[in-house]
Structure 1
Amino acid sequence: MVTIDLLIVAAFVKWGWKFSIFRGWLVPFPNLNGTWTGFIYSDWKNPKTCEKPAPIPVMLTVNQSFFHISCMMFTSEMESISYSEGFLIDPERQIKNVSYSYTSKPRLSLNERSIPHDGTAVFKIIEKPKQKLVGRYWTERLTKGEIVLQYHSKELLEELPENLGEHPVTEDENRR
């Protein structure tokens, strides 16, 4: 009997929690697994031009299980990896957020204007009418901004889709 119970629990933890029938009463958080794409709207100012960049194409991959969630964010200039993640779900107050702290590692060739740093991102989870993550971020470099992402696919992509476009700062530097 105990073996059957353990098998049922193991199957639920591995696969069952993802079924929408369990959402709300047994599983309080949504399944965010997959790749999300969109744009960062940053208040960072380019030291050469003193201007904010145009929206920055970005991709977020979420690897989630019943007990854990990890996030990796990519632009063409950096990747960031989460190290502390969590949900804030409170249906009574209509709150459905995911947040994480991260370490960002820009490409080495950009160290002059973009140093490695830590930061935090907080996203409102929107499930209807379309899946979106809309949030804000701030860093120890004293930069902040907004991020808007739409669900792209179940697959965890390893590089930015080409149709997202180039990083606006890289693009500006390549024109000179």
Structure 2
Amino acid sequence: MMTRPQITAFLTLSVTFWVGLLALKGTPLSWEMLAPFGTVVGAVSGVMLLFDAWAWKLPIFRGWLIKRPYVHGTWKVELQSDWVNPETNEGVPTIHCFLVVRQTASQISLRLITEESSSETVSAGVEACSDGTFEISCAYRNKPKSMYRYRSQIHYGAMLLSVESATPTRLEGEYWTDRKTTGSVTLTDRKSKTPMTFNEAQALYQS
């Protein structure tokens, strides 16, 4: 979303061209014509803030003004990793966890929460593909709870999700980490709320 200084600069440039064209046409000009400028900047800033946070989700704006999938909320996740437990030298079964997505028109953040750790995005973005689908990519930092760090240290990774429509009901993707592990993720059953902890997310689906 444009910041207030950017909006001010854009409107100033627009007004400059507008005044210049009026002058070329011989239209009488006065300083009073610029008196509402500050009010206009404030109004435009407010409208853009409202649009970025909420109005962009409305169907009337989707597809032509905003080409972005709506994935905000909490998703059930099935995570399959090729990580090998150093204590048993065996792989791990499918991990059932949650992905919390917070989204506006201009920004998106993702937090993957399991019983043992939380992964928060360092950077994330949404790209529209030529075939009408989308991709969500992110880099993240994983922080295991302190009781598990003797076998699972803080690490970084990246994830790529494929989004087949503007209002998906299922997402699939894969991830990589700097511990040289990879895996796949499947997201289903989205809820609109955005809890912070694993227990809160679990309670959301049990209610």
- Regarding TM over 0.5, the answer is yes
- Aligned twin of 2:56: 17
Q: Which runs of 5+ in 2 are unaligned?
A: 1-35
Task: Note if contact 2:84-2:90 (Cα within 8 Å) is conserved in structure 1.
Answer: yes
Asked whether 1:35 is paired with 2:71, we answer no
- Aligned twin of 1:72: 111
Query: Match of 1:158, as an amino acid?
Result: M
Query: Match of 1:133, as an amino acid?
Result: L
Which has more helix, going by share of residues?
2
Query: Match of 1:99, as an amino acid?
Result: S
Task: Please report the RMSD computed on the Cα atoms of aligned residues, expressed in angstroms.
Answer: 2.2
Residue in structure 1 matching 2:142, options 104, 107, 112: 104
- Aligned twin of 1:144: 182
Question: In terms of Rg, which structure is larger?
Answer: 2
What is the TM-score with the length of structure 2 in the denominator? Answer: 0.71
Alignment partners' CA distance in 1, 2:91 and 2:167: 31
Alignment partners' CA distance in 2, 1:44 and 1:153: 29
Alignment partners' CA distance in 1, 2:102 and 2:146: 26
Displacement of 1:95 after TM fit? 3.6
- Aligned twin of 1:48: 87
Q: Which runs of 5+ in 1 are unaligned?
A: 165-176
Percent of residue pairs bearing the same amino acid type: 31
Higher relative contact order (CA 8 A, sep 6+): 1
Sort the Cα spacing of 1:26 and 1:128 in 2 relative to 1 into closer, same or farther, 3 A.
closer
Task: Note if contact 2:173-2:185 (Cα within 8 Å) is conserved in structure 1.
Answer: yes
Which has more strand, going by share of residues?
1
**Match of 2:85, SS?**
coil
What is the TM-score with the length of structure 1 in the denominator? Answer: 0.83
Greater shift in the superposed pair: 126-135 or 137-146: 126-135
Query: Match of 2:160, as an amino acid?
Result: V
